[in-house]
Chain A
Amino acid sequence: MKKKVLLMGKSGSGKTSMRSIIFANYIARDTRRLGATIDVEHSHVRFLGNLVLNLWDCGGQEAFMENYFASQRDNIFRNVEVLIYVFDVESRELEKDMHYYQTCLEAILQNSPEAKVFCLIHKMDLIEEDQREMVSPIVIKIFLTYFHSQIFREREADLIKLSKPMECKCFKTSIWDETLYKAWSAIVYKLIPNVQELEKHLQHFTEIIDADEVLLFERATFLVICHCERKPHRDVHRFEKVSNIIKQFKLSCSKLAAQFQSMEVRNSSFAAYIDIFTPNTYVMVVMSDSSIREFHFLSKHGAEIMIIISFLASAATLINIKNARKHFEKLEGVKTQNPPTAFAPR
């Protein structure tokens, strides 16, 4: 199944950078090497096996933009599933940005009215740097958090107003932290066709194994595509943080020519397992304190308290993950009978 994703925005706003980080395993620092995109760069990204994202990375220089809206209008804006419009938060020409955005929306509305629109307010980290000379870091932090959300909220309100009658969803992003993963997770979530079914089965799996939380990551991008939580957790940004950390780790593994396969993290209160799941996904299972303490009161010789400690060791959880694998593979429609051959038939 092919889905066309348009990536647009002003020149230098960071479209190619974020695409490279999410889909081409770049680290944030490497994006400095990227030059300006000329015209449209097409890339096909296989996502979850049978879903292919057809990414159209449209160069943002004015000459190209005018071209998209005039002579290439049909070609570009036809059959679009998702439009991702990137704004540079530092841009001095807000009016012009908004003008282009609206023109773009008009074209979308004409050619593919069903498309979903996402706005990414990018380079949020840059605002921080401008204010660095100020006094105490704590004051800065409080101030910035307020300032950030203030700026973001203003922009968001503007954009939602401007986007009418289409609906748009806004995210603040930066390539230097996990916000980028949050935004893209939300975007791909909308693209996966059977996500509800996947969620239902994941919920079931979580209940059977008594896990606190189970996350499903797409294998190449490490974006969270599905999650199930049984015990509330205070950190709402944990998914993106995990994505970010594990992806970095995976990349450093590949530098040593070793493939990342699984990981187990354990402390006194929980154990977390990350393991390859289906050919397209990784799974993360979080189990709270493995020892379930039961108190047995035996009153044979007066009041006697016995403490029974019972726990399921990590090997058992790995068996559970292994057993669930087959089920989820079937759900994804993976064909194991005929693996892809190295030699294409002529």
Chain B
Amino acid sequence: MLKPKTLTNVLSQANTGGVQCTLLLNREGTLLAYSGYGDKDARMTAAIASSIWLSYEKYGSVAFNEDNLKSYIVECEACCVSNGIFKLLLSQEGNVIVIKVSNVLLCMHANKSVPLGTLKAKITTLANYLEGPLTQVATT
């Protein structure tokens, strides 16, 4: 069972020191839980993050000799790219990191000011914490 209060509390704990939002999504890109400053396009972010994940996983497994994808970082600029969907994501400046937890994805969006290493450390800690409980819940 996913307890709404507990889960969102855990997610919101990461929203410090420049992290804008933290979200949990399944591999199809459906948003499961969200916590952050303002809920601008949370569903959109989830969809894009999972879409990137799936395509990397699909082609990466061929290119990188079947090494499994663990996480990826995307650096977003404040400029707008003319591509319809990506424009929305990229208009928020900062870094996005996505990591696999059990069979769902955890995604974090942070300011430019947050060093990538810190971001990575943060999301890994959160992922480790959630791994056990989410594996129990895992059904999708």
Q: Closest residue of chain B to A308, judged by CB?
A: B12
Interface size class of B (residues with CB under 8 A): 20 to 34
Q: Which of B15-49 contact A (CB under 8 A)?
A: 15, 24, 26, 30-39, 43
Cα distance, A308 to B12, chains bound together (Å): 8
* Cross-interface CB contact of B3 among A208, A294, A311, cutoff 8 Å: A208
From B30, which residue of chain A is reached at the shortest CB distance? Answer: A315
Closest to B31 in A: A313
B12: chain A residues within 8 A (beta carbon): 294, 308, 310
Bound Cα distance A308, B22 (Å): 11
Main secondary structure of the interface of B (DSSP, over half): mixed
**B26–A315 touching, CB < 8 Å:** yes
Task: Determine how close the nearest CB of chain B comes to the CB of A188; give it in whole angstroms.
Answer: 28
Name B10's closest neighbour in chain A (CB-CB): A310
Per-residue contact bits, chain A 5-45, to B (CB 8 Å; 1 contact, 0 not): 00000000000000000000000000000000000000000
Q: Are B35 and A309 in contact (CB under 8 A)?
A: yes
Query: Complex formed: what's the CA distance from A19 to B11 in Å?
Result: 52
Known: A209-B3, A209-B4, A323-B1. A315 touches B32 (CB 8 A): yes
- A208, A209, A306, A311: the one within 8 Å of B33 (CB): A311
CB of A63 closer than 8 Å to a CB of B: no
Q: Please give me the residue from chain B that is nearest to A324 by CB atom.
A: B1
Decide: A311 near B34, CB < 8 A? Known: A209-B1, A320-B1. Answer: yes
- Which of A306, A312, A322, A324: most chain B CB closer than 10 A? A312
How distant is the Cα of A306 from the Cα of B9 in the complex, in angstroms?
A: 15
- A291 near B4 (CB under 8 angstroms)? no
A319 to B140, CA, bound (A): 7
Whether B33 contacts A322 by the Cβ 8 Å rule is no
* Contact of A1 with B by CB under 8 A: no
The reply to whether B34 and A313 contact each other, CB–CB distance below 8 Å, is yes
Chain A residues in 8 Å Cβ range of B35: 308-311
A309 touches B38 (CB 8 A): yes
Say if the beta carbon of B8 comes within 8 Å of chain A: yes
Residue ID in chain B nearest A316 by CB atoms: B32
- Tell whether, in the assembled complex, residue B34 and residue A322 are in contact, meaning their CB atoms are under 8 Å apart: no
Residues from chain A with Cβ under 8 Å of B7 in the complex:
312, 316
Residues of A in contact with B (beta carbons under 8 Å apart): 208-210, 287, 291-292, 294, 306-313, 315-316, 319-320, 322-324
Can you give 8 A-B contacts (C-beta < 8 A)?
A209-B1, A210-B5, A287-B4, A307-B38, A310-B8, A316-B2, A316-B7, A319-B2
